[in-house]
């Protein structure tokens, strides 16, 4: 299953957003609690140090933090005044663990906590040696402040969360699109490279410096590929050239041996077998030479007008003569003339025709198709077959591929014919395909987009399999 890169980025950023919000929520609870706790302590110290705090009976705070909060639980106790709350006596008499907050030569300020009747009190005590003053607040008031803070936080979050999600989607889409565009630029640089321009001077650079090392490595790889490819192509070409001369000489000696030996003798049979193998080697070297030229981009065509209709009609007549046990049918348009390399196209069509005969079955059939419409020329040869390898359509054009081992034993060939046909088709700007239907019928089709000024003929197009079925 292929995943969407953009969707992957969106999901990743959304997960990061959720993790961030969750972590922020936890941290804010601890940080806010510590902040408010420290702020309450500071304000309590400010209250106890303000002389006006104990000169009024009001419990309202006079500080900025407590102002307008209606802290009904605020308790003030002074040694110089009558206690206004019974808790003042408890603050003095009970054993409370105090923590020194401030200290000077004359005044000490301490913090403490005291719990009575299920209520916890946050207390600040100021002592000057002769008197003690207390200011206390119910800790539930602090929790109320925290609760209000959480409510405000949740309210704000509920309002901005949809916008945050939308922003995440937009940012993710922008980032992923931008990244894909950068990768596509690099991909285009790689895709534009083929055997024809491996040795071209390439000063390719990219906008972002992080991608430049990749381009540098790719350019270095091009140079090494070009060197290796030239060596391989030169070896194939040179080997083919060097082999042709001695093979031709050997064939001459073998043919002479056939003529000079006694007819039907053992020696003549051996010379005949030798000649067949030499011819096979010459055929291989010829094909390797053409493939080497194609690989190196030196397979050039010599265009001439070729009457494809006459060529296919001649093959049909040859098939009837050579293979009388096969049923031959055709669907060939009249007067199709194409400007192409006559020798190469002859070889392509003959190789397809030869395969249709070699890989046929007893009492089988071959169907020839030549069709042309306004934009495409098609040459197709179909044949019956048996036990066609499942990987034939994918591997048919691999060099030296000949299918199953059983076919290798009983059918002559080198496994280079279809590879050569594909290169010829490519040189002419066309495509070559092999298809196999459910009944093991094999179709080898050459298609090319044509210039109607160079091709003439009666326009007609039919289904080749249907044509053969009707002919039977």
The confidence band for 169, taking pLDDT boundaries of 50, 70 and 90, is confident
With CA atoms as reference, report the closest residue to 298 among 290, 307, 308: 290
DSSP 52: G
Residue 239: the pLDDT is 66
Place of tokens 């006459």: 310
- What are 27's two structure tokens? 């941290």
For residue range 44-103, what is the model confidence (pLDDT) as tens digits? 888 787 767 776 655 454 455 555 455 557 777 877 666 566 777 777 777 788 888 888
- Give the separation between CA 82 and CA 409, rounded to whole angstroms: 121
- Give the separation between CA 181 and CA 5, rounded to whole angstroms: 12
Rg over CA atoms, the chain: 47
Distant-in-sequence, close-in-space partners of 394: CB < 8 Å, separation ≥ 6: none
| Residue 373 CB neighbour total at 10 angstroms | 13
- Give the separation between CA 329 and CA 322, rounded to whole angstroms: 15
Contact 182, 211 (CB under 8 A): yes
- What are 398's two structure tokens? 């691999």
- Give the separation between CA 140 and CA 121, rounded to whole angstroms: 9
For residue range 207-265, what is the model confidence (pLDDT) as tens digits? 667 767 877 787 788 778 777 767 666 666 666 667 777 888 888 888 888 888 888 88
pLDDT surpasses 90 at 309: yes
- What is the percent of the chain with per-residue pLDDT over 70, rounded to a whole number? 75
Contact 106, 127 (CB under 8 A): no
pLDDT surpasses 80 at 37: no
User: What's the Cα-to-Cα distance from 281 to each of 250, 269, 274, 284, 285, rounded to whole Å?
Assistant: 11, 19, 11, 5, 6
The confidence band for 382, taking pLDDT boundaries of 50, 70 and 90, is very high
Distant-in-sequence, close-in-space partners of 460: CB < 8 Å, separation ≥ 6: 333, 371
- Give the separation between CA 362 and CA 131, rounded to whole angstroms: 125
Contact 48, 74 (CB under 8 A): no
Note the pTM of the prediction, 2 decimals: 0.46
- Give the separation between CA 384 and CA 359, rounded to whole angstroms: 8
Distant-in-sequence, close-in-space partners of 270: CB < 8 Å, separation ≥ 6: none
Residue 95: the pLDDT is 75
The confidence band for 298, taking pLDDT boundaries of 50, 70 and 90, is low
Q: Regarding predicted confidence, which is higher, 350 or 471?
A: 350
pLDDT surpasses 50 at 470: no
Residues 19-31: what's their mean pLDDT? 80
Contact 449, 328 (CB under 8 A): no
Residue 405: the pLDDT is 44
Residue 466: the pLDDT is 43
- Give the separation between CA 441 and CA 386, rounded to whole angstroms: 8
- What are 265's two structure tokens? 């003798």
Place of tokens 């194609």: 294
**Largest Cα–Cα distance in the chain?**
150
Determine the Cα angle at 429 with ends 428 and 430, to 5°.
Answer: 95
- Give the separation between CA 124 and CA 306, rounded to whole angstroms: 110
Residues 7-31: what's their mean pLDDT? 82
Neighbour order of strands in the sheet with 430-436: 327-332, 365-372, 376-383, 442-449, 430-436
With CA atoms as reference, report the closest residue to 110 among 141, 142, 82, 135: 135
- What are 247's two structure tokens? 């093979």
What does the mean pLDDT of the chain come to?
77
For residue range 109-125, what is the model confidence (pLDDT) as tens digits? 888 888 888 888 888 88
| Alpha helix segments (H runs only) across 296-371 | 308-322, 342-358
CA 6 to chain centre: 12
């Amino acid at each position: 299953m292929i995943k969407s890169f953009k969707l992957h980025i969106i999901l990743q950023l959304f997960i990061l957003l959720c993790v961030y919000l969750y972590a922020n929520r936890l941290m804010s609870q601890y940080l806010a609690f510590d902040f408010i706790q420290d702020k309450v302590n500071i304000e309590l110290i400010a209250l106890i140090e303000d002389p006006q705090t104990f000169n009024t009976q009001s419990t309202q705070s006079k500080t900025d933090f407590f102002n307008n909060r209606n802290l009904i639980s605020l308790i003030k106790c002074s040694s110089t005044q009558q206690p206004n709350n019974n808790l003042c006596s408890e603050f003095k008499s009970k054993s409370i663990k105090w923590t020194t907050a401030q200290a000077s030569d004359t005044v000490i300020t301490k913090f403490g906590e005291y719990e009575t009747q299920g209520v916890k009190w946050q207390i600040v005590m100021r002592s000057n040696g002769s008197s003690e003053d207390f200011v206390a607040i119910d800790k539930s008031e602090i929790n109320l402040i925290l609760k209000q803070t959480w409510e405000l936080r949740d309210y704000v979050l509920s309002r901005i969360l949809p916008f945050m999600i939308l922003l995440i989607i937009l940012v993710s889409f922008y980032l992923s699109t931008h990244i894909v565009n950068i990768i596509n630029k690099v991909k285009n640089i790689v895709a534009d490279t083929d055997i024809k321009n491996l040795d071209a001077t390439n000063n390719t650079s990219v906008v972002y410096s992080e991608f430049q090392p990749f381009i540098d490595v790719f350019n270095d790889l091009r140079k090494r590929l070009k060197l290796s490819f030239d060596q391989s192509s030169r070896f194939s070409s040179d080997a083919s050239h060097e082999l042709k001369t001695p093979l031709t000489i050997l064939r001459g000696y073998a043919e002479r041996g056939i003529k000079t030996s006694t007819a039907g003798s053992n020696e003549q049979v051996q010379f005949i077998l030798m000649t067949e193998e030499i011819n096979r080697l010459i055929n291989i070297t010829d094909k390797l030479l053409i493939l080497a030229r194609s690989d190196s981009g030196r397979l050039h065509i010599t265009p001439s007008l070729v009457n494809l209709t006459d060529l296919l009609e001649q093959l049909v007549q040859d098939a009837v003569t050579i293979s009388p046990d096969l049923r031959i049918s055709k669907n060939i348009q009249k007067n199709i003339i194409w400007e192409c390399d006559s020798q190469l196209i002859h070889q392509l069509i003959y190789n397809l025709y030869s395969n249709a005969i070699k890989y046929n079955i007893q009492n089988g059939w071959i169907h020839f198709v030549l069709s042309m419409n306004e934009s495409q020329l098609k040459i197709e040869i179909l044949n019956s077959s048996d036990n066609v390898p499942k990987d034939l359509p994918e591997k048919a054009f691999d060099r030296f591929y000949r299918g199953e081992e059983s076919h290798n034993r009983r059918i002559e060939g080198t496994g280079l014919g279809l590879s050569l046909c594909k290169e010829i088709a490519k040189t002419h700007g066309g495509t070559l395909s092999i298809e196999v239907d459910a009944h093991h019928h094999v179709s080898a089709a050459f298609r090319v987009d044509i210039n109607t000024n160079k091709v003439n003929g009666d326009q007609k197009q039919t289904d080749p399999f249907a044509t053969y079925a009707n002919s039977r």
